Copies of this chain bind each other. A is one copy, B any other.
């Protein structure tokens, strides 16, 4: 039985990366003429067409939405999916989900697969690796051909498309301010590396709130954790000198990990250390003590993203090139981890 040629197979065969194949087939000048020619000839020989978007757009609509997200273990992405499903189903659309697993290559391959006539448009949040590389050629390719994308949470600033975000700076500002008003004076932040935009923006909001109130910003008081699943050791080392009386964490896993470590050190929460998290998921609700958190409104974001996409898909003015960035309001949900 004939096996379909894929970007990945071409990459393996010619010993280049998937993104090189992807770019070469789009005749990108980032790739040397020699490599481009080699890849294009190989593709031609096997009659491989990288992207039939234009073709599918000329034909009938699929009434399907493709969702590409980094992973589903975290509650936030799961709630976004619920919102997408709710609105999509109301409007007669089906939802197909693919995971990038935080991998750039998987994101490229999944987008390429879905864009080939399986769906009408994308709702997506970028993989960590894509943010790190700042390589968005696969998104540009899709939008250039007229297939709409709505990005949420982890967005690329320089891609022209609709975006659904929270104001991360303002939210972190609000959370930091809240800790200061509760008389915390030695604040620590547990964040992600700066290439993850939400981590960078929340770090910025944290710093701004401190400066606005006349506190010094100590870079030693900001921990940037790369490996979310194995954050324990890093957080333990960060907390070991016991100097913080208030902590802000950019997700609930960091917050609950810090809470457990502090309790293990004999600290009482919130008496000795107050904690504010981001994401109102299972962990925030069921941890002991329960966590005060910034609710990210994942369900609402997913619903808005789907509504926006469907509006674009069903608009008579497909050529309309105005894009909107919707900022969803966050709320601080007070629970037991703050006084």
Contact = CB atoms under 8 A, between A and B. Distances in A.
Interface string A147-182: 000000000000000000000000000000000000
Contacts of A94: 98, 109-110, 113
A118 interface: yes
A99 B94 CA distance: 10
A4 interface: yes
Nearest to A263: B288
Interface size class of A (residues with CB under 8 A): 35 or more
A186 B282 CA distance: 29
A119 to B, nearest CB: 10
B98 A61 contact: no
Interface string A245-289: 000000001001100100100000000000000000011001110
Contacts of A260: 286, 288
Counting chain B CB atoms within 10 Å of each CB, the highest count among A97, A253, A260 belongs to: A97
A17 interface: no
Contact of A4 (B6, B62, B73): B62
| 8 nearest CB pairs, A to B | A288-B288, A97-B97, A2-B60, A73-B78, A256-B286, A72-B72, A72-B78, A4-B60
16 contacts: A2-B61, A4-B60, A4-B63, A9-B92, A72-B72, A73-B78, A73-B82, A85-B99, A89-B106, A95-B99, A97-B99, A256-B286, A260-B288, A282-B282, A283-B283, A286-B286
